[in-house]
Amino acid sequence: MKQERVPSNVITKAVRRLLLERGVAIEDIADIVYDMQSPFTPDLTMDVCIDNVNAVLEKRELQHAILVGIELDKLAEKRQLSEPLQSLVEQDEGLFGVDETIALGAVLSFGSIAATTFGHLDKVKTGIIGVLDRAKDGRVNTFLDDLVASIAANASSRLAHRVRDEEEREKNTEKHGTI
Ligand code: MG
């Protein structure tokens, strides 16, 4: 039986609520974007980073990855997954890799800057990613740390492209006056 489609705004709201519920603020992700992009854009502001995080959170590929990943973390935390998946997710087993695969899948449509930034963040675990990765006391963030890296990587890529567009627009305006 075909059910009615889920409206986009319902998904967007759920994604934002889930991130907050799991201890991730938009500003935490924007901090990582600032870290990644300020060396290339010296006059970068946090507001611009926040805007870019908000913009990529509207993208369905990313939203769906976030919904799936956080759900699995939550179920693992409540010990509601079946074995052996329960143990694999709960222990953040090094060879499991599905957490990275889902998060990496969500960066593919954002171009090479997103992909390389994701690889870097996955290794270095900047800011909140490291905090999530080290969380103990029954917390399961196996998927969430990779998802945050994915959001930050996508926002970094979007920002880098926008900055270049802006620079070119300015150059054209200088050359030809208002266009
Ligand atoms: Mg992980």
* pLDDT computed for residue 109 by the predictor: 87
Instruction: Please state, in angstroms and rounded to a whole number, the distance separating the CA atoms of residues 83 and 124.
Output: 31
Residue 76 has pLDDT above 90, yes or no: yes
For residue 83, being part of any structural domain is answered with yes
Percentage of the chain beyond pLDDT 70 is 98
How close is the Cα of 147 to the center of ligand 1, in Å?
A: 8
For residue 133, being part of any structural domain is answered with yes
- CATH value at residue 54: 1.10.3760.10
How close is the Cα of 133 to the center of ligand 1, in Å?
A: 7
Which residue in this structure is represented by tokens 């449509």? 109
For residue 2, being part of any structural domain is answered with no
For residue 176, being part of any structural domain is answered with no
For residue 56, being part of any structural domain is answered with yes
Element housing 158 (H / E): helix 144-176
How close is the Cα of 135 to the center of ligand 1, in Å?
A: 12
Whether residue 84 has a cis bond before it, omega within 30° of 0: yes
* Token representation of residue 81: 């997954």
Instruction: Please state, in angstroms and rounded to a whole number, the distance separating the CA atoms of residues 40 and 37.
Output: 5
What is the pLDDT of the chain when averaged over all its residues? Answer: 94
* pLDDT computed for residue 177 by the predictor: 73
Instruction: Please state, in angstroms and rounded to a whole number, the distance separating the CA atoms of residues 82 and 44.
Output: 46
Task: Work out the pLDDT band at 175, boundaries 50, 70, 90.
Answer: confident
* pLDDT computed for residue 167 by the predictor: 86
Q: What is the mean pLDDT of residues 127-154?
A: 95
How close is the Cα of 99 to the center of ligand 1, in Å?
A: 5
Instruction: Please state, in angstroms and rounded to a whole number, the distance separating the CA atoms of residues 29 and 128.
Output: 7
For residue 29, being part of any structural domain is answered with yes
Encode pLDDT of 21-72 as tens digits: 999 999 999 999 999 999 999 899 999 999 999 999 999 999 999 999 999 9
For residue 34, being part of any structural domain is answered with yes
- Domain count of the chain? 1
Domain that holds residue 34: 8-171
How close is the Cα of 13 to the center of ligand 1, in Å?
A: 24
**Ion ligand 1: residues, CB < 5 A:** 99, 142, 145-146
Task: Work out the pLDDT band at 178, boundaries 50, 70, 90.
Answer: low
For residue 178, being part of any structural domain is answered with no
